[in-house]
Amino acid sequence: MRYFLELSYNGKNYHGWQVQPNVISVQEKINEGLSKLLRVPINIMGAGRTDAGVHALQMYAHFDVDNDIDTNLILDRLNSFLLEDIVIYNIFKVDGKSHTRFHAISRSYEYRIYLGRNPFLLDTTWQLYRNKLDVDKMNEAAKLLLNHDDFKCFSKSTDVNTYICDVTFAEWKRTDNLLTFHISANRFLRNMIRAIVGTLIDVGMSKVSIEDFKKIMDSRSRSEAGFSVPARGLFLTHIEYPESILKNE
């Protein structure tokens, strides 16, 4: 039997999503909770891998178990096992072939920048209080992402088969002192969003022109692109699946 989990987490205290030696991960903590509750070894498969310090407003993972389970009971008990910075919102049965990673249609992220100082947002925003940004120019450059497909220049990945991604939305929006970059695509490469944001910040500070931004993307060289912004401002916000998979949610 296969089940999907819908969850969110604050990534501050975790070395990313994926289980790794000698560090604490989100996946590890959920594996431990489910294994204790179901009394069999459980290894959940996530829809993606967030880096250390990155947050998720919506993440999906799946796991397999031999027998039907009481999802409401497991949901309540699992949350009681977990620390407060990981919350499971839903557990639901799916077709045995449904896969949280391979069947995701798109993923959406936000990068949050606070223009000023706010001690209550230190863990969830990158704070800029001395630099003025040309947001219109940053949005002009962001639009170019939709007509580009090879994102190697923004990636740390070296072991992937392709650097091709289909970016369907990319836009900066400002509400008072909060400047947020929204981006959606069918897939993302390691460090891709943080490198894109850093390069767009350079555009906003007039360090990189729109024409230079085009050349950076065409270069396919990470050394040509801008810096990677801190992880704490990045949120996985939404994962889209075919309706047929989520019909039992």
pLDDT at 178: 96
Please write the tens of the pLDDT for every residue from 180-205.
999 999 999 999 999 999 999 999 99
Please write the tens of the pLDDT for every residue from 73-129.
999 999 999 999 999 999 999 999 999 999 999 999 999 999 999 999 999 999 998
Please write the tens of the pLDDT for every residue from 142-188.
999 999 999 999 998 777 889 999 999 999 999 999 999 999 999 99
Assign 244 a pLDDT band (cuts: 50, 70, 90): confident
Q: Outline which parts of the chain fall under CATH 3.30.70.660.
A: 106-237
**Residue 111: beta bridge partners?**
181, 234
Strand locations in the chain (E): 2-9, 45-46, 55-64, 86-94, 106-115, 126-128, 167-175, 178-185, 234-240
User: Taking the CB of residue 40, how many other CB atoms lie within 10 A of it?
Assistant: 11
Q: How far apart are CA 97 and CA 127, in angstroms?
A: 43
pLDDT at 158: 73
pLDDT at 248: 59
Q: How far apart are CA 184 and CA 66, in angstroms?
A: 36
pLDDT at 249: 59
Q: Are 222 and 186 in contact (CB under 8 A)?
A: no
For the chain, give the longest Cα–Cα distance.
Answer: 59
Tokens of 239: 């994962």
Would you tell me which CATH number, out of the four given (3.40.50.1580, 3.30.70.580, 2.40.50.100, 3.40.50.720), belongs to the domain 2-102? 3.30.70.580
Catalytic (active-site) positions: 51
Please write the tens of the pLDDT for every residue from 26-45.
999 999 999 999 999 999 99
Q: Is 150 helix (H, G, I), strand (E, B) or coil?
A: strand
Q: How far apart are CA 3 and CA 66, in angstroms?
A: 11
Q: What's the DSSP call for residue 233?
A: G
pLDDT at 154: 96
Tokens of 3: 């089940």
Q: Are 35 and 52 in contact (CB under 8 A)?
A: no
Please write the tens of the pLDDT for every residue from 59-73.
999 999 999 999 999
pLDDT at 110: 98
CATH 3.30.70.660 is right for the domain spanning 106-237: yes
Q: Outline which parts of the chain fall under CATH 3.30.70.580.
A: 2-102
Q: How far apart are CA 201 and CA 206, in angstroms?
A: 9
